[in-house]
């Protein structure tokens, strides 16, 4: 397959998986070689320095690379061990609509936004806000592939109430993201919590935090 055909196969395969939540370990094991094949086609050798990396990205798929660890602490899942703690607790009533990420390396900023509905009636959003910078290599130069993220606060909106801002000075969760495939509209990466993910660029959008994004292409169905 050409790279474009392989990209289309990846998007087609992960569509309908609810961003990976609706997959079994066996299905995730079958999807992984397809993602690794596209990683092998990456032509952007220094994605952290590429203008492609900054922007608004919609999560299409995320899966743990270590199933045993994920079953214990949510590592590598959509929520991750930190976000799972702060998302609404009654999961039977909560349905996630979209997971969006803003990366602004020039401005040193990263935000992770989860939009959800409660009992099919009330809409809400949880936005975790932090800083982003290329990770230093052992030699002291910026990493060409890995970005360090430190979260400083989160904002929560429930229906028309809020947003409420809660500082995270007491915990300052941090991690890193390594970009393994990047082009103008698709990104594959791996995280320090043991995940692999696929994200699609939301072109022409304006980030508004817990108010969502304005304009731009529709968020791809997941």
Cβ atoms within 10 A of the Cβ of 49, count?
15
* Cα–Cα distance measured from residue 54 to residue 140, given in angstroms and rounded to the nearest whole number: 23
Task: Reply yes or no on whether the pLDDT at 76 is more than 60.
Answer: no
Structural domain includes residue 216? no
Q: Which of 55-69, 82-96, 97-111, 153-167 has the lowest mean pLDDT?
A: 82-96
Q: Which of 48-62, 114-128, 139-153 has the lowest mean pLDDT?
A: 114-128
Q: Tell me the pTM.
A: 0.85
Q: What is the pLDDT of residue 78?
A: 52
Q: Which of 59-68, 105-114, 213-222 has the lowest mean pLDDT?
A: 213-222
Structural domain includes residue 220? no
The residue assigned the tokens 């993910």 is: 197
Q: What is the pLDDT of residue 130?
A: 93
Structural domain includes residue 41? yes
Structural domain includes residue 212? no
The three state secondary structure string of 158-216 is ECCEEEEEEECCCCCCEEEEEEEEECCCEEEEEECCCEEEEEEECCCEEECHHHCEEEC
* Cα–Cα distance measured from residue 71 to residue 63, given in angstroms and rounded to the nearest whole number: 12
CA atoms within 13 A on the CB side of 36: 8
Decide if 111 contacts 155 (C-beta within 8 A).
no
Q: What is the pLDDT of residue 221?
A: 52
Decide if 166 contacts 145 (C-beta within 8 A).
no
Kindly state the average pLDDT of the residues 48-68. 91
Task: Reply yes or no on whether the pLDDT at 92 is more than 80.
Answer: no
Task: Tell me the CATH number at 28.
Answer: 2.40.128
Structural domain includes residue 210? no
Kindly state the average pLDDT of the residues 47-61. 94
Structural domain includes residue 55? yes
- Domain enclosing residue 164, as ranges: 3-70+80-201
Structural domain includes residue 35? yes
Kindly state the average pLDDT of the residues 211-217. 59
Q: How far is CA 151 from CA 42, 131, 135, 212, in A?
A: 29, 6, 15, 19
Structural domain includes residue 47? yes
The total domain count for the chain is 1
């Amino acid at each position: 397959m050409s790279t474009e055909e392989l990209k289309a196969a990846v998007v087609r395969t992960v569509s309908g998986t609810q961003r990976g939540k609706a997959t079994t370990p066996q299905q995730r094991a079958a999807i992984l070689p397809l993602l690794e094949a596209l990683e092998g086609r990456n032509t952007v050798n220094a994605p952290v320095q590429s203008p492609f990396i900054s922007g608004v990205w919609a999560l299409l798929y995320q899966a743990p690379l270590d199933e045993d660890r994920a079953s214990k602490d949510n590592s590598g899942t959509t929520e991750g061990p930190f976000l799972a703690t702060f998302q609404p607790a009654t999961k039977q009533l909560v349905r996630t609509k979209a997971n969006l990420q803003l990366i602004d390396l020039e401005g040193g900023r990263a935000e992770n936004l989860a939009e959800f509905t409660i009992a099919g009636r009330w809409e809400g959003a949880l936005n975790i806000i932090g800083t982003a910078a290329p990770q230093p290599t052992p030699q002291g130069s910026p990493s060409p592939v890995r970005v360090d993220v430190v979260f400083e606060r989160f904002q929560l909106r429930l229906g028309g109430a809020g947003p409420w801002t809660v500082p995270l000075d007491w915990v300052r969760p941090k991690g890193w993201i390594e970009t393994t495939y990047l082009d103008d509209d698709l990104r594959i990466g791996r995280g320090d919590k043991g995940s692999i993910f696929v994200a699609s660029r939301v072109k022409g959008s304006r980030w508004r935090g817990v108010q969502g994004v304005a304009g731009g292409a529709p968020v791809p169905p997941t």
